[in-house]
Structure 1
Amino acid sequence: MSGISVQDVVDALKPELATRASDPVCLSVGGFVIEVRCTSPALLAELLRYFQHVITEPADPDLTIHVLSEAELPFDVEFADWAREPGKTGRKDAIADLADGRLVLKIRTGVQFLQSLAWAVAFGPTGDYPNQVINFINTQILNRFQREDWVACHAAAVRTAGKGLAISGLSGGGKSTTMLRLMEVAGTQYVTNDRLLVRRAETGTQALGIPKLPRINPGTIVTNSRLAGLIDEEREEELRNMERDELWHLEEKYDLFIDDIYGPGRISHDARITDFWVLNWSRDSHKPTAVDKVDLPERRDLLSAIMKSPGPFYQTKEGPFWTDKTPLDASAYIAALDGVQTWEITGQIDFDVLFDAGTELLGGHK
């Protein structure tokens, strides 16, 4: 553990923290109010655009997030790499544990974050990487509710008045494409694209999505007519001419603004989850796509697609931080999803079959 304290970092950043920030912006998710103070008007404009659907009237915040520009620490910090999840390669995050907090460094960009129970500060070249600031803000929401015994699922989700459907799968397994197809079902609302908080309550399994807009891959765009025009015409034509396998593995992401594509009133981050799809299908399978009920306690192997590590920013309410060796508690997920019907999707990848199944499940019509 470093001999540096959170206060040492705060004191070093005081000139930037004292810089007049733009008028604070308040966001509210699940009753949790975050105040964002950003020193860059250009970056603030991007944040306002991104979080427009959760902006609320100024209020006493539960947490203030400071977003600074090209601030640097006047002392050296010794960082250690954070281990990637199985199947992930390359260096992404590094951490330095302080006496009462943690610094997190994004290795590829140089953006740094101070995380503690009292402080949340982003600094460095933040204006060049707004998506990392967006992720940091969303991380504070995840932290807050995980401290209240919600568990985080690696899942997309949609809801209707009577149903809530979560969708998990291996990375690139099609959960975003499936979720967006189901947005065509009458009465559906978008809950989340990649992180879903759940906990068991008397009325069933409560769920809360974070205000993270879908970051979709080219395959999702070219297979959904609704998304035509999301990227420039020339690039879309290039994508349509790619081989299926090449398109599937293409590392290219685009933000999708739900209100722009589906119209207003189509987002609800609060939901009650009644059903959970686990995409265990394969592009190499020749079997028909099947949607089968399973008992999750008896199929714990499927939890690997559902469970998600809280990551390097997570600090428990007692003070200790999560480590890259801290095991996930499978029993907590089983308990949180008690009463939720789990379904396993197997066979070949066929989004039309899944759309029909989802339409029937959600009680809507095409």
Structure 2
Amino acid sequence: MNTHLNTITQELDINTESCRYQFDLDLSHCHITVLSNTAKLMFELESYFCSYPQHKATADIVIYLIESDKPAPSYPWADWAREAGKSGRKDSYVDMHQGRLLHKVRTGMVFFQSNFSRLAIGPCLKNINQVVNFINNQYMNYLQQQDHVICHAAAVSICGKGTAVAAFSGGGKSTLMLKLMDHPHAKFISNDRLFLTNDRDNIIARGVPKLPRINPGTILHNPRLLSILETEEQEKLKRLPQAELWDLEQKYDVMIDEVYGENKIDLEATLDTVLLLNWDRKSSAKPELKKVNPEENQELIGAIMKSPGPFYQNTQGEFLSGPEIPALENYLAVLNKVTVYEVSGGVDFDYLAKTYLELTQNETV
């Protein structure tokens, strides 16, 4: 055990020596080893990440997950400010020992984040999604420390070329991404977080191993996804007004292998196109695709900009104090090297997916 980890575990009165169960996640250029005190948690994680490589190798990142019923320690917690449009307490934090301790107010989970030690403590089995997010946050930190810019976007690769989809809040980026997955040569890259970096003349897009989490409206309007819901639940949701269904926050995981078949995931791709959804739910017009210059349409770039969040720590060990967003120049540096479309008009996912796929096919002929 390293000295830093020993200091933290003593402070929190926990024992990592009981973490004898291991899970490995091999993300090509970054290897993550997860250790836990419960075999069931490892089984759940292996099942969740079953579509991603799980080979053992020398770890770049080690994470300890400790199933515990201890309450959060009594520290002078500060509330993490929510992003615009969101309310209610969600995260609180205190900085200590070259790291940050985060408390998930609603679930009681506690996480310690630093460049030296990473711990999750609490009812892990009841909060698998938060555990998955914590694991992914380590990879997200790794990428950002390697000069990747964080984007609020979904992405697929089609015939090896990456397409990113971004939208203002509730704009349907996941719904469109899953429509594009119907293409026979499409592969899933990412659902909600995408990381872009310059590689000579190309922009590389890297996703995180996080399955799409979608709302019922996305499921009901995509025949491939209907099996996620029981028939009775489908009928109940179909009776809701369209506006209410659109805004319903009730998440379901999409198991990519089960829905689309095996070998339908890419960890990364060369980015070719970005679709910025700026359409209007109230409009009856058909969606329109217009090629835009990011420099001249900077108001649209807000759709893809994203704060790294409370877990982000740079190479100097510094954390953010709130939901700060990377500089606009960082986004323009990558978006200026790819094709960017603004999507306006009314909302029609089937029409837009068909139009875009026909457009890209014509451009490659």
Give 1:347's aligned residue: 345
Equivalences, count: 359
User: Residues 178, 125 of structure 1: CA spacing in aligned structure 2 closer, same or farther, 3 A cutoff?
Assistant: same
Q: Is the 8 A contact 2:26 2:56 kept in 1?
A: no
Q: Which moved more, 1:252-261 or 1:297-306?
A: 297-306
Aligned pairs (5 A) from 1:183-262: 183-262=181-260
Q: CA RMSD in A?
A: 1.8
Give 2:45's aligned residue: 47
Deviation at 1:40, TM superposition (A): 2.0
Q: Is the 8 A contact 2:23 2:33 kept in 1?
A: yes
Give 1:77's aligned residue: 75
Structure 2: how far apart are the matches of 1:344 and 1:326?
25
Structure 2: how far apart are the matches of 1:197 and 1:306?
11
Structure 2: how far apart are the matches of 1:14 and 1:118?
18
1:330 aligns with 2:328: yes
The TM-score with structure 2 as length reference comes to 0.94
Structure 2: how far apart are the matches of 1:262 and 1:162?
17
Question: 1:363 is paired with a residue of what secondary structure?
Answer: helix
Structure 2: how far apart are the matches of 1:74 and 1:50?
27
AA aligned opposite 2:229:
I
Gaps of 5+ in 1: none
Aligned pairs (5 A) from 1:118-157: 118-157=116-155
Give 1:285's aligned residue: 283
AA aligned opposite 2:269:
A
1:65 aligns with 2:66: no
Deviation at 1:223, TM superposition (A): 0.5
Give 1:167's aligned residue: 165
Deviation at 1:162, TM superposition (A): 4.4
Question: 2:243 is paired with a residue of what secondary structure?
Answer: helix
AA aligned opposite 1:169:
A
Structure 1: how far apart are the matches of 2:130 and 2:10?
24
User: Residues 102, 250 of structure 1: CA spacing in aligned structure 2 closer, same or farther, 3 A cutoff?
Assistant: same
Q: How many percent identity over aligned positions?
A: 40
Structure 1: how far apart are the matches of 2:73 and 2:234?
47
AA aligned opposite 1:240:
K
Give 1:17's aligned residue: 16
Gaps of 5+ in 2: none
AA aligned opposite 1:11:
Q
The TM-score with structure 1 as length reference comes to 0.94
2:304 corresponds, among 295, 303, 306, to: 306
Q: Is the 8 A contact 2:25 2:32 kept in 1?
A: yes
Question: 1:349 is paired with a residue of what secondary structure?
Answer: coil
Structure 1: how far apart are the matches of 2:357 and 2:46?
34
Question: 1:68 is paired with a residue of what secondary structure?
Answer: strand
User: Residues 74, 161 of structure 1: CA spacing in aligned structure 2 closer, same or farther, 3 A cutoff?
Assistant: closer
Deviation at 1:209, TM superposition (A): 0.4
Structure 1: how far apart are the matches of 2:19 and 2:37?
7
AA aligned opposite 1:228:
L
Structure 2: how far apart are the matches of 1:58 and 1:180?
31
Give 1:116's aligned residue: 114
User: Residues 75, 87 of structure 1: CA spacing in aligned structure 2 closer, same or farther, 3 A cutoff?
Assistant: closer
User: Residues 258, 247 of structure 1: CA spacing in aligned structure 2 closer, same or farther, 3 A cutoff?
Assistant: same
Aligned pairs (5 A) from 1:30-41: 30-41=28-39
